[in-house]
Amino acid sequence: MPELPEVETVMRGLSAMLTGEVIARVELRRPDLRRPLPQDLARRLAGRRILGFRRRGKYMLMRLDSGESLLIHLGMSGRILARERGRAAPSARLGPQGAASDARGRNSPPEGHEHLVIETDRWRIALVDPRRFGMIDLLPTAEEDAHPLLRELGPEPLAEDFTAERLSAALAGRSCSIKSALLDQRLLAGLGNIYAAEALFRAGISPRRAARSVSGARAARLLAAIKAVLTEAIAAGGSSLRDYVRPDGEVGFFQDRFAVYDREGEPCPRCPGVPPCRGIRRIVQQGRSTFYCPRTQR
DNA sequence: CTCGACTCCTGCTGGC
DNA sequence: TGCCAGCAGGAGTCGA
């Protein structure tokens, strides 16, 4: 579930656990992710102290005392599993209801798809990514922003200096739909399919509207909606941070609060229940589902 | 340049 | 119950 808020939550969890720790052991089990991992990754990580973390868009950066940073992107299916070493993994069934756990049964065996495992004296961290759409690289810390994956990223939506004027300027002249534009990481870094839909709903803007027509007051509404939905989602994730160290890797429970995402046919939370609301509609844009309320979003 | 279609990979769900 | 098509929260590449 990795869009900006999830990545932020995971990064905060990792930061709380690992900052100051020394990497004792590295196991590279599957180097063929979307981009091949550096051959000598394990050697370059081993023995390094972890100085801190940073997020950029949907990317996480773990900074090391060697002057290098480990870049992690979780792709579609990536998760981080963390547990304290020497402590048995608690049963996944202990997770909160709705956290799509159990299934694999009691005392779940070592989970598959653990492509990279990093251990400190205290922690064991595994990167799990069944679909292998995620990305990992190691690069000089001083050149983080010049990395090919980060170089083209647009501004951080939560940055104070990201204003409605800048958003309008970025949208001007773009003939694609506003939904497509919001998914373009060069325009804005961190929104994905869910939060793009949620932000447009909050702003009362149709996902089909031409991007260039979103300016002025409309752009201001959209920007406020983007910031609000991301901030609330991070707060929801942050509030469950202590649950972060669970074997199922679930973080946050914001999904209970989606107003439109994956709610096709359900009543729009903003329409009066009485007559005309036909409910949330699903359309496909660029091959991806978009959910919206045709009555309140124009 | 911009845009949409296609692609990578595996797992889960829903309809038959 | 079992099977299989369809779909999934991302993003790089390609051709129009």
Distance A25 CA to C9 C1' (A): 31
Token pair for A224: 């406020």
pLDDT per position as a tens digit, A174-213 = 999 999 999 999 999 999 999 999 999 999 999 999 999 9
Catalytic (active-site) positions of A: 2-3, 58, 288
Question: Which pLDDT band holds residue A32 (cuts at 50, 70, 90)?
Answer: confident
Q: What is the pLDDT of residue A278?
A: 80
Distance A261 CA to C10 C1' (A): 17
Q: Which residue has the higher pLDDT, A258 or A248?
A: A258
Q: How far is CA A54 from the centre of its chain?
A: 13
Q: How far is CA A128 from CA A28, A123, A298, in A?
A: 12, 16, 40
* Res A52 pLDDT > 60: yes
| 8 A C-beta contact, residue A52 and residue A97 | no
Supply the pTM of this predicted model.
0.90
Q: Specify the CATH number of the domain A164-292.
A: 1.10.8.50
User: What's the CATH architecture for A4-146?
Assistant: Alpha-Beta Barrel (3.20)
Residue A170: CB less than 7 A from any atom in strand B: no
Residue A58: CB less than 7 A from any atom in strand C: yes
Question: Which pLDDT band holds residue A257 (cuts at 50, 70, 90)?
Answer: confident
Residues lying close to strand B (Cβ under 7 A), chosen from 107-166 of chain A, are: 112-113, 130-133
Domain boundaries, chain A: 4-146, 164-292
pLDDT per position as a tens digit, A89-144 = 653 332 222 233 333 333 344 567 899 999 999 999 999 999 999 999 999 999 99
Kindly report the backbone phi and psi dihedral angles of residue A242, in degrees, each rounded to the nearest multiple of 5, phi listed first.
Answer: -65, -25
Q: How far is CA A230 from CA A124, A191, A199, A288, in A?
A: 29, 9, 9, 21
Residue A13: CB less than 7 A from any atom in strand C: no
Distance A6 CA to C6 C1' (A): 26
A4-146 and A164-292 agree in CATH topology = no
Q: Which of A116, A145, A96 is nearest to A29 (CA)?
A: A116
